[in-house]
Structure 1
Amino acid sequence: MTDRTDFAARLLGWYDSHRRTLPWRAPPGERADPYRVWLSEIMLQQTTVVAAAPYFLTFLQRWPTVRHLAEAPLDDVLAAWAGLGYYARARNLHACARHVNERLGGRFPDDETALLDLPGVGAYTAAAVAAIAFGRKATVVDGNVERVVARVFAVTDPLPGVKPRLRALAATLTPDTRPGDYAQAMMDLGATVCTPRKPQCLICPVSHACEATRMGIAETLPARTAKADKPTRHGVAFWLESAMAVLLRRRPPTGLLGGMAEVPSTPWEAGGPPTPAAVQAAAPLARVPWRPLPGSVRHTFSHFHLDLTVTAGEAGDNWPAADGYWVPIGALKGEALPSVMRKVVRHALDHTR
């Protein structure tokens, strides 16, 4: 078996020279701010560093402390989050900030167990905040770390079923000293050297300890169970204008895109486009002459594809909004519209102007 006794020492030595400069990362020798660590880790779930960085900087500028974020209206937080996806994270982010501010005096707990009690904080985030912000020994396992560990130990069983084993193996490598730096070093290694395709084993600081490198199978790991094809759902979105404003409505507070703004639409269902009767029943105003716009809007969620056609209508001036609210077209950028709805807005404007 490969000797891994100096794994952490070699990795930390490499990190000291090659660490990435990231907006949420404290400079060498400085203590990390728990608020920044927590905020970044929530944003980085299911999101890349490149995508998360501008959102992080925007949030930090608007809400520099957990108290500022806790006191912000939820609608403002959702609007600032729009486009980052997985919107339950934004609602949980706000709930967690309020919990920390109101119940914990604005101070984050410093150990995994207490962190796990916070809204929206799971095992990964709790370990990351404990290690990076508070120097606690904790095993931080994200996708990058899973890949590194699968290769170091030549684990050929597929994800996601092998996740518990990879976490247990990762724990055997976690050092007692500099756990926060070590956690970030593992992430950096996976992001820059031990990459999904064409891993750079020749320059890897821990290739001596990697069983997959020795066996010549590093690029094939981690194995993954084949994913089932995603189904396609269909719907019709209603672009209704009145006096240079457009009708929006708020989605239910829980569930897909919970609490976000949307252009009204039929339910999104599989089995083909909705019937004319279903479209008429879902229209926000039945007496409006609706005009189908050419083309459609395509969007992919984690579990399904969505194909939306858009139909446009005019309600006249000052028409009451029974199920929604009017927003001036020039103010749409400030609304908490998820990515799919921003696509609908662009499509409608492209074909009605």
Structure 2
Amino acid sequence: MPFFLWKRPRIIVLAVIAAGIFMTFQFFSLEALFYAQKRVAVKSYSSRNENEREEKLVKEFNYEDVVTANLKESNDIKHLLKTPRGVHKDDKHLYTVVRKDDNEMFRCVKSGRLIPYSWINDDYCDCEDSSDEPGTSACPNGRFYCTLQLPDQKAVSLPSSGVNDGICDCCDGSDEWAGRAPPKSMRHQGKNIVLQAPCQNHCDTIAKISKENEQIRKMGQRLKRSYLLAAQSLRDREVYGPEGVFYKLSLNCFSHQVHPYEYKVCPFQKVTQEQFPSQQWSLGRKAAWKQKSHGQFLLEMSGGDAVNCPGRGRQSLILFLCGITDRVVELREDQRCEYLIKFATPAAC
């Protein structure tokens, strides 16, 4: 057989195989192209849906929540989140940013002078009314309000000169925000002293005590009625306080021991001190009101024994406090021959 006749079928077979490979390549190319276009379309659709979802979220956007959650450290909106240190929450509106020529300004509360908002609490007094330094001691007539205020109580504040002076005036310690302890020469030692920086937050303890005191006050006010009834027949009731409310106490004596002494407190009659088996000393036998207004009742018992007391006789001050029973809470000698007696009674509620 001639060579070219044998070779032709072979060429035809190779051509068919090549055509098959070409068609397969074309098929997969078109499939890949279709898949790529489908991915683009799906991505575009997802992106469009995502944009629509974001637009919906923007419309439902709660500015306050997002600010609080995510932007607390942003210098641009700090004034939206936090009242300047030393400002009471009721005065927060006085520290709203004033816009002037794209600048954030603060308007001095009384004078109306505009200063850069960043000058608030920068430890330099710029406003004549001291309103730009509520949280520092820079201004002479400023007023600092504690950051945490207890509910249902009068707002606690202090002169700006007391800020960062080493003494904890606020129960949350916010007036000593620098945390600097006072110099060693000014530090107090011992018990029953003022709290000093660095301060601890003890507002919860005070709130608990205040709540308990309020319960005692309400109960004491109910018990107080019997004290008022006991004085109704008196001619000169005011001798025993408002409407003679403390008269009932004058009919009794109350014992109190402070080792090694035993005391007897007989309001309006006498106060004595005894150390067995030695003699008894009078700490006061003449009663006179030192104060009986604005909810504070302080009775002075003078004319006590003068032995070992330079220049005058012993005397006692009885401070009546609201309580649900009649009792001596504390008795101490504050100064030589001068005694302070804290006396709890419903009559003072």
Same fold (TM over 0.5): no
Specify the structure having the higher radius of gyration (Cα).
2
Identify, as 1 or 2, the structure richer in strand.
2
If the length of structure 2 is used for normalisation, what is the TM-score? 0.26
If the length of structure 1 is used for normalisation, what is the TM-score? 0.26
Identify, as 1 or 2, the structure richer in helix.
1
